[in-house]
Amino acid sequence: MKRFAPLALLTAALLACQPATAPSTREHLVVSGAPYERGLAHGTQLRSKIRGFYTTLMTNSLFPFLSREQPDIATLLKEYEGEKYLGGRFAFELLLESGRSIERSLGRAGRDELRGIADGSGLTYEEALILNTFVDTTLAVRGIGLAIRQGRAPVVESVQLLGLEADGVDNDGDGQRDEAGEGTLTPYEPPFFAAAVEVDVSTRLRVVFSDPDGVDPQTVRVRVDEGLFTFGDPALEVLELSPTRVQVTWTPLTPLPAARPVTFVLSAGDRRVIEVPGPPRASFRRDEELVVTTRGAGLGVRELSRPALTDNRTRPPPFTVAVRGGRAVGGGPLLAHSFALLDANTAHKHTVSILHQPDVGPAFVTVGWAGIVSGLSGLNERGVGVSCNPSDTLDNSVVGSVLDQVADLSRAKLVASGLPATYLVRRVLERASSAAEGAEVLAEGNPVYGWNCTVADDRGGLEVVELDSDVFKQGQGGVLRYGPADLSPVSMRRYSSLTDDDVVVGSSYTRNVDDSITLNLAGQRIVPQRSWSGFFFRSRRVMDAVTRRLAARAEPVDVDWLKAVLVEPELVDRSDSMNAVVLDLRGRVVHSAMGTVPATSSPFVATEVRR
C-alpha cells in the first residue's frame, strides 16, 4: 500500500501577522482502495461539511445567482419560460440536466466514486452529481448570459489617437512612420498589447460607440489612469452622429504623464431600459482598456507591461506561474497556482486536501472542497503537477447543444457535455508520468468549457494546453498547446514566457485568440473571447504583473519566493480567492494555503506524496 508522509505540517507564516496554526476550516483526508471505497471514505469523514457545503453554496448562493440569468437566456431560448423552470427551479433543473449529460463521460469509476460520496454524506446521487459538475456548466451559462448582455450593449466601432499620422514616430510597431490610419483601430478589436507607443503627452482620444437602440450620451465614461471623465466634463466632447452612433472626444486639459504607460478605460450604455430582472437599467458596454506609452518610455508595442490599477474596479483572476532549469533553485521545477472564482462566503469553510491512494495507478494529492472528487491543481507521486484556470469562450458544449437544436430554438435548451475541469485534472494525475503525457490526456479530454491548463514534470517538462469544446470545428480540435520556447507566428515573440524556463498563464487565451467564429444566431452575435469576456483585460493585467516580478528577479526562484508572489495584494482577489498552491515537483510536495478569505490569509501547509 502506498503511504502518506507529512512534513510535520510546515506551517510557517509568510508574513508576521499570519496565524501560527492551520485554520480549522481546512481538512486533510487519506482515501484508499477502489473508487467507491474512496468516495465512501470521503463522504463519511466529511459528512457534515459536504451537506453544509451543498446547502450554503448551491441552495442559498448559486441557485439564486444563476437564476438571475434566466430572463436574459429566455429572450433567446423560450423553453426557459416554461413552468418547469419557474418558482426558483431554473438553476436546479438546468444543472441537473447538464449533470446527467456530463455523467456519460465520467466512466464507471467516476460514477462509482460519486455514489460513494453520496452514500457516505447523505446527499442524493443527483445532488452529488450537481456538486461535481456545476462549475463548468455555470461558467458556460454565465458566459452565454454575459455575451447576450454584451450583445445588447453599445459596440465600440472605432478608436483613434489623434495626431499619430504626423508625429514622426512609429507608434504601432510595424516599421513605418506616419502611414495612413496610424493610431486608428477600426474596426475595433480589443488589443492584446499596447494600442500605441511613444504618443505625445497632448494626444487626444476619439471613440465612436454605436447601438441599434441608441447610445445614451449621459452614460459615457472615460477613465484616464485614476481620473474619471463623464458627460458634461470640459475635457469630454460628446457628439451624436446619428440616432444610433455617438462620437466621444477626450482632450487632456493637463499633459499626460511623460515617459510611462497610460491606461484609458472606456464605457457607455444604451437608451433602452431593461425592466426584468430589476432594477430598471441600461445595457452597458464592459470596460474596454487601452494602454499607450508616452514619448520617452522606450517600449515597443509588445513590450509594454500594463500598470496596476488601484481604483478597485476589478479583481485579479486565476493565474499560474511555472519555472524550471536556470530560473529555479536547484533546477526546480516549481508550479504556483492562484485560484479565485466564487467563494460566496462559504467555499473557504469547506476546503480539503486529499491524498488519493487508488488500487491501480499512482498516489496523488488534490486541493479542493468537501464533496468534490478533485480540485483544479494537484501533484502525483510520479512528479507530474497540473493546474487549470477557467477561460471564457462561446466555443463550449452548452453553445454546441443550442447549435444542435438551431432548427427549433423555441424548444432548445442549454445542456453541457464532456468532462469538467476537475475530472481533467484527475485524469492527468491518474495517468501521466510526464508533462507530455499529461498534455495528451488534456488534449483527449473533451472539456465542457474553456480552460487554460499548465502541466509540468520533475524532469523539466512544461506545457500549456488551451482547451475549448470545438463546437465550431475550426480545425484544431479544440486544443492548442505551447511551451516556453514557442513563438507566436504573428508577433514572433514567446506566447507567455520571458525565457525558455518559465511560463505565466492567466484566464484568457494566449494562443487560441480566435476561439470561436463570428456569426449571428437568432439575433445573438457570437464573437471570440476577447470581444466580450470580463476575464480578458483582467487576465492580461495580472499576467503582466506576475511577469514584472519574474523579470525583476535576478536570482533563481524558490518555493518561498513563489509563495510571496501569491500573497502580493495586487495579485489577490480579496473576496473570492479560493486557494493558493505551490507544487514542488521534484520534492513531491504540495504547499497549499486555504480555509480563509482570501486564501492567502492562511499559512501554507506542506503535504508530501511518496510511495
Give the distance from CA 399 to its chain's centroid. 18
> pLDDT value at position 310?
66
Alpha helices, DSSP H, located in 238-328 = none
Alpha helices, DSSP H, located in 54-89 = 63-67, 70-74
Report yes or no: 318 and 578 within 8 Å, Cβ to Cβ: no
Strands 451-457 and 4-6: what pairing? unpaired
What mean pLDDT comes out for the span 231-236?
97
The secondary structure element, H or E, covering residue 118 is: helix 107-121
> pLDDT value at position 4?
36
Give CA–CA dist 448/582, Å, rounded. Answer: 26
Q: Does the pLDDT value for residue 106 go beyond 70?
A: yes
Higher local confidence (pLDDT), 558 or 72: 558
Give all strands of the β-sheet with 236-242 in edge-to-edge order: 184-185, 155-162, 204-210, 245-250, 236-242
Cβ-count burial of 1 within 10 angstroms (0-12 exposed, 13-18 middle, 19+ buried)? exposed
Give CA–CA dist 133/117, Å, rounded. Answer: 14
Q: Does the pLDDT value for residue 1 go beyond 50?
A: no
Q: Does the pLDDT value for residue 277 go beyond 70?
A: no
Give CA–CA dist 46/191, Å, rounded. Answer: 47
> pLDDT value at position 226?
86
Name which of 141, 139, 119 is nearest 128 in CA terms. Answer: 119
**Confidence bin at 483 (pLDDT 50/70/90):** very high
Name which of 310, 308, 374 is nearest 339 in CA terms. Answer: 374
Give 542-595 pLDDT, tens digit per residue.
999 999 999 999 999 999 999 999 999 999 999 999 999 999 999 999 999 999
> pLDDT value at position 61?
86
Give 330-352 pLDDT, tens digit per residue.
999 999 999 999 898 899 999 99
**Confidence bin at 7 (pLDDT 50/70/90):** very low
Q: Does the pLDDT value for residue 405 go beyond 90?
A: no
List all residues 6 or more positions away from 278 whose beta carbon is below 8 Å from its beta carbon: none
The secondary structure element, H or E, covering residue 161 is: strand 155-162
